[in-house]
Amino acid sequence: MALRKEVEAAVSPPIPSTSSLERDENYEFYKQHQGLEYTAEEGKRVLRKIDIRLIPLLFLIYMLQYLDKNSINFASVYGLKEGTHLKGQQYSWLSSIFYFGYLIAQWPAGLALQKLPVGKFLAITTLIWGGLLMTTPACYNFAGIAINRFLLGMVEAVVTPGFVLMTGMWYKSEEQPLRLEAWYCTNGIATMFGGLIGYAVGHITTGLPRWMYVFLIFGAFSMAVGAIALVFLPDLPSTAKFLSERERAIAVDRVAINRQGVKNSQFKWYQVRQAAQDPKTWLLFIMAIGAQVPNSALTSFTSIIVGTFGFDTLGTQYLQIPGGAVQFITLLLGGYIATKFDGRFHSRFACMIFACTVCIIGSGLLVGLPDTNKWGRLVALWLCYFQGLGFSMSLTIVSSNIAGYTKKQVTGALLFTGYCVGNIIGPQTFKSTEAPGYHSAYIAMLAGYAVKLVAIVALYVYMYLENKRRDRKAMDGQEIEAEGVENGMLDKTEIDNKGFRYVL
């Protein structure tokens, strides 16, 4: 570490005459402490403190947002449709309407994440959506619950993009896959935990209608965690109160090597234009659509699908638990592999391609197996839970491979626009006229995964060839690295920063 500092100080280019607004918010702090020497053990100690403070909070918040947005899945078998007088395709529209809200709020949410303190903004939105969820039992018709779901989607739009940005702000590129999966794996835990709560709710025989308890329980948990996060979730490495001055300097220096900077609140239109012209942006957009068209089968319609296989009401709840376990294990294992073999075997793309291939097999079995083979179809559905690994790894492409803070949040916003489009389309493939077979929905799942796989391979080839092209032009590796770090702290994009290399 000390050797890297000496080399960096020796070859570091002079500071360009950029205004303070154009530079990273941590730039002056970084320059004040540039040349700071610290041991590998000190760096690990700071990393442990960051992990202890951030990961438990991100873990809880992400688990709750997954439970909250999919609460209608668990409530659907306990009288939600009857209690809110839903008919025909209206239940499908409740899933789509959530993502209309998510889509509309995506761009304002991205701008807010750039302008406002990230930690506090995330905590406040957690409090708000918990309160919204607790008002759901007051809805007695389609219009009321549709508005409730729309507003919930708007508020939750900040969570995943905000967490992706935070992962890039606090962790080195090689550390990001495991940390990102540490909070993203809660999708699997939420599926298991939600199934258990759903099973427990099924045994309530007095008081309110059972479907209402799902929203009240999940909403109360969200408000409690939001209040805790408001106190303890930090905003920036350079201002984190749980770190000493020296530890803050180490925290900033650790992520400077990513050549992406930390955060910049100045919105830059040239970075917007560059994002719109970048092939990576649109390949990520296509990947997100392909991944999320099948998503409704694994979220809002899971209880209904399992019921069509011939299992009873309680079975529709506890038989979701193995699917959640598959998702949880694959996400953590994939994150470990991508981190362990970072820089070797192109591990991130290997994980994405493998996960997508398994999903194609699972959805293909759902299309091809006869209706009488209920256990085979159930296992096929569980195989589709590999989907989470592929999508979460695409988020690390944004956190590790997109530089320039405006460009990063715009690319993320476009990715999540694709995410919304896929989730709006997906529920509409479950046509009430096809119940209980839903054959067209399973075909749509297979098509979505196939499109996603093609986009993954195209993105890999593009980034691999670009790395090779830059390597051929590079003259001095140490000088390029130092210039890349400096340009990153000056909020240069990965296109403009010739010292940048894509992490595959």
Structural domain contains residue 391: yes
Q: How far apart are CA 414 and CA 285, in angstroms?
A: 6
Which residue is listed with tokens 């192109």?
A: 346
Task: Walk along the chain (504 residues) and give the pLDDT tens digit of each residue.
Answer: 443 444 343 333 444 445 555 666 666 766 777 777 888 899 899 999 999 999 999 999 999 988 888 788 778 777 888 888 888 888 888 878 988 999 999 889 888 988 899 999 999 999 999 999 999 999 889 999 999 999 999 998 999 989 998 998 899 888 999 999 999 988 888 877 776 777 777 777 777 888 888 889 889 999 999 999 999 999 988 889 999 999 998 988 888 777 766 777 788 899 999 999 999 999 999 999 999 999 877 776 777 788 887 777 777 777 878 888 898 899 999 999 988 887 678 999 999 999 999 999 999 999 988 888 889 989 999 999 999 898 899 998 888 889 888 898 899 889 989 988 998 888 888 877 777 778 888 899 999 999 999 999 999 999 999 999 988 887 655 556 666 677 767 778 888 888 888 988
Collapse the DSSP code of 89 into the 3-class scheme (helix H, G, I; strand E, B; otherwise coil) and give the result.
coil
Predicted local distance difference test score (pLDDT) of residue 479: 55
Asked if 121 and 166 count as a contact pair (C-beta separation under 8 A), the reply is no
Q: What is the pLDDT of residue 49?
A: 95
Could you tell me if residue 138 is inside a domain? yes
Task: Name the H helices within 33-70.
Answer: 40-69
Distance CA 343, CA 219 (A): 41
Number of other residues whose CB lies within 10 A of the CB of residue 269:
8
Identify whether 316 is part of a domain.
yes
Q: Are 233 and 217 in contact (CB under 8 A)?
A: no
In whole angstroms, give the CA distance from residue 363 to residue 90.
25
Instruction: Let me know: does 364 contact 448? Beta carbons within 8 Å.
Output: no
User: What is the model's pLDDT at position 359?
Assistant: 95
Q: Where are the alpha helices (DSSP H) in 309-386?
A: 313-318, 321-340, 347-368, 374-383
State the burial class of residue 381 (Cβ atoms within 10 Å of its Cβ: 0-12, 13-18, 19+): buried
| pLDDT one-digit tens code per residue, 207-255 | 788 888 888 988 999 999 999 999 999 998 888 999 999 999 898 888 8
Which amino acid is present at 456?
A: I
Task: State residue 9's pLDDT score.
Answer: 39
* Residue ranges making up the domain that contains 61: 37-470
Q: Which helix (H) or strand (E) holds 275?
A: helix 269-277
| Rounded Cα distance, 315 and 321, in Å | 10
Using alpha carbons only, how large is the chain's radius of gyration in Å?
Answer: 23
| DSSP per-residue letters across 450-496 | HHHHHHHHHHHHHHHHHHHHHHHH-S-HHHHHHHHHHHHHTT--TTT
At residue 242, the pLDDT reads: 93
Residue 22, domain member (yes or no): no
What CATH number does the domain containing 209 carry? 1.20.1250.20
Asked if residue 240 lies in contact with residue 254, where contact means CB atoms within 8 angstroms, the answer is no
- Give the model's pLDDT for residue 284: 95
- DSSP annotation of 82 reads H
Please, what is the angle between helix 142-156 and helix 90-115, to 10°? 30
In a domain, 483, yes or no: no
Q: How far is residue 186's CA from residue 190's CA, in Å, rounded to a whole number?
A: 6
> Burial level of 97, CB count in 10 A (0-12/13-18/19+)?
buried
Total domains in the chain come to 1
Dihedral angle, C-alpha 427, 432, 433, 439, nearest 10 °: 50
> Does residue 216 lie in a domain region?
yes
Q: Helices then strands (H, E): number in the chain? A: 25, 0
Q: What is the distance between the alpha carbons of residues 184 and 186, in angstroms, rounded to a whole number?
A: 5
The letter for the amino acid at 313 is T
- pTM, full prediction: 0.82
- Residue that is written with structure tokens 């592929």 in the block: 390
